[in-house]
């Protein structure tokens, strides 16, 4: 049983985001790893680390002052009662680890995105969570970015009036970086994707050489429906990641424009105004910069996880169902690209996959 004081946490996967990224950073630097975030949280106790590379697990455990290091998740769960498990493994082994955690009775899981390697496996994972009475927090990190929540609040309050278009520019794969922009659009606009299609790509096939599954960076369209039943269209435009890693978003409303550029390091909110020179025209006014707070996301996510595990809150900012919707969108774009670029309804795709199982 969880005590009011400390939530017992295990991390499986001692790689970049699990334990390694900020091992050499300064004390006052942003928190970038699960290990550091949970280690510093006053109401969490990091009880065990696990990685199939034993040397890496032991090194991480030594650095983060964790007593127990494992190479086998089953042994970890047999020897420890864990309240929260972080799944930071590579996606190709994720399902096996999650299945072990659920069979061991863990009720709160933090899962790095994507949920798994394939959409069928993601559906299976969501079903398994439901069957075990467990919940997952999926780390699409911008859901915990305070600056994105500020923009979401402005849009929800009507500061933009109607959202006319959303345009995103990205590189490094529709599933890798494109999925973040799909998820972020839904977050900011209070909407969920309902259908998607591919628009081809001007990029060479070799642009996908970074990926062992040759994941392409497709131009695409995604149609969302917001909480009021209004349609919002996102257009995704791909760039060659070999030049630089592009991640940009522009939301165009009837009264204002929001722009995210430089990978989230520059945020601008611009009110529209009457053109001072040409009567009858409306143009952007002075852009106001918003303080980017993306590097606070890990700490915010971990704090939400602890409060959720303690029963202080009932919902989380990004759960398995939201992540599955993003995965369905990515799959729809990839299937559309293999066909004739036709629209694919996400619910139809989901039904088809469930029947196939």
User: What's the start-to-end Cα distance of the chain, in Å?
Assistant: 35
Q: What is the pLDDT of residue 1?
A: 43
130: Cβ–Cβ under 8 A, 6 or more apart, which residues? Answer: none
Do 342 and 78 meet the contact criterion of CB atoms below 8 Å apart? no
H or E element, residue 237:
strand 231-238
Are residue 106 and residue 179 in the same domain, yes or no? no
Residue 106: closest CA among 47, 55, 53, 57: 47
Q: How far apart are the C-alpha atoms of 6 and 172, rounded to whole Å?
A: 39
127 and 186 belong to one structural domain: no
**pLDDT in 10s for each residue of the chain, 357 residues:** 445 579 999 999 999 999 999 887 667 789 999 999 999 999 999 999 999 999 999 999 999 999 999 999 999 999 999 999 999 998 888 889 999 999 999 999 999 988 887 888 889 999 999 999 999 999 999 999 999 999 999 999 999 999 999 999 999 999 999 999 999 999 999 999 999 999 999 999 999 998 888 899 999 999 999 989 999 999 999 999 999 999 999 999 999 999 999 999 999 999 999 999 999 999 999 999 999 999 999 999 999 999 999 999 999 999 999 999 999 999 999 999 999 999 999 999 999 988 875
CATH code (residue 249)? 3.30.360.10
Peptide bond just before 248 cis, omega within 30 deg: no
Asked if 89 contacts 97 with a C-beta cutoff of 8 angstroms, the reply is yes
Domain annotation covers residue 20: yes
| CATH number where 114 lies | 3.40.50.720
Pick the last residue of a domain from 294, 310, 344: 294
Q: What is the largest CA-CA distance in the chain?
A: 74
- Do 207 and 220 share a structural domain? yes
- 50, 52, 53, 59 alpha-carbon torsion, rounded to 10°: 0
Mark whether 96 and 157 lie in a shared domain: no
* Total domains, the chain: 2
Predicted local confidence at residue 280, as pLDDT: 94
The whole-angstrom separation of Cα 347 and Cα 324 is 11
33 near 18, Cβ under 8 Å? yes
Parent domain of 217: 145-294
Q: How far, in Å, CA of 174 to CA of 293, rounded?
A: 25
**What pLDDT does residue 211 have?**
85
C-alpha torsion sign, points 326, 331, 334, 340: negative
> What pLDDT is stored for residue 251 in this prediction?
98
Q: Is the domain of 185 the same as that of 272?
A: yes
SS (H, E, C) 6-60: CEEEEEECCCHHHHHCCCCCCCCCCCCCHHHHHHHCCCEEEEEEECCCHHHHHHH
Q: What is the pLDDT of residue 4?
A: 54
Q: Report the C-alpha gap between 296 and 177 in whole angstroms.
A: 19
My answer on whether 186 and 123 are in the same domain is: no
177 inside domain: yes
Do residue 107 and residue 161 come from a single domain? no
């Amino acid at each position: 049983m969880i005590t009011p004081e400390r939530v017992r946490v295990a991390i499986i996967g001692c790689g970049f985001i699990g334990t390694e990224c900020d091992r050499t950073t300064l004390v006052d630097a942003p928190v970038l790893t699960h290990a550091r975030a949970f280690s510093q949280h006053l109401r969490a106790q990091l009880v065990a680390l696990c990685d199939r590379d034993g040397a890496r697990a032991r090194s991480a455990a030594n650095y983060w002052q964790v007593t127990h290091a494992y190479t086998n998740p089953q042994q970890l769960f047999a020897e420890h009662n864990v309240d929260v498990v972080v799944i930071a493994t590579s996606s190709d082994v994720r399902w096996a680890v999650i299945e072990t955690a659920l069979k061991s009775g863990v009720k709160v899981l933090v899962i790095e995105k994507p949920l798994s390697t394939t959409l069928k496996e993601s559906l299976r994972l969501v079903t398994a969570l439901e069957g075990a009475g467990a919940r997952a927090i999926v780390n699409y990190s911008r859901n915990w970015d305070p600056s994105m929540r500020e923009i979401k609040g402005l849009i929800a309050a009507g500061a933009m009036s109607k959202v006319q278009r959303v345009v995103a520019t990205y590189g490094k794969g529709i599933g890798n970086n494109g999925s973040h922009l799909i998820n972020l659009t839904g977050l900011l606009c209070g909407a969920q994707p309902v259908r998607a299609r591919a628009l081809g790509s001007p990029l060479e096939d070799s642009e996908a050489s970074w990926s062992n599954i040759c994941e392409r960076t497709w131009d695409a369209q995604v149609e969302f429906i917001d909480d009021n039943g209004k349609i919002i269209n996102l257009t995704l435009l791909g760039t060659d990641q070999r030049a630089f890693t592009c991640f940009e978003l522009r939301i165009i409303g009837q009264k204002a424009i929001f722009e995210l550029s430089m990978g989230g390091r520059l945020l601008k909110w611009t009110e529209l105004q009457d053109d001072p020179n040409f009567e009858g025209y409306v143009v952007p006014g002075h852009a106001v910069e918003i303080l980017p707070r993306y590097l606070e996301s890990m700490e915010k996510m971990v704090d939400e996880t602890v409060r959720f595990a303690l029963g202080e809150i009932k919902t989380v900012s990004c759960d398995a169902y939201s992540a599955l919707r993003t995965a369905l969108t990515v799959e729809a774009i990839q299937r559309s690209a293999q066909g004739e670029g036709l629209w694919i309804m996400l619910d139809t795709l989901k039904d088809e996959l469930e029947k196939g199982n």
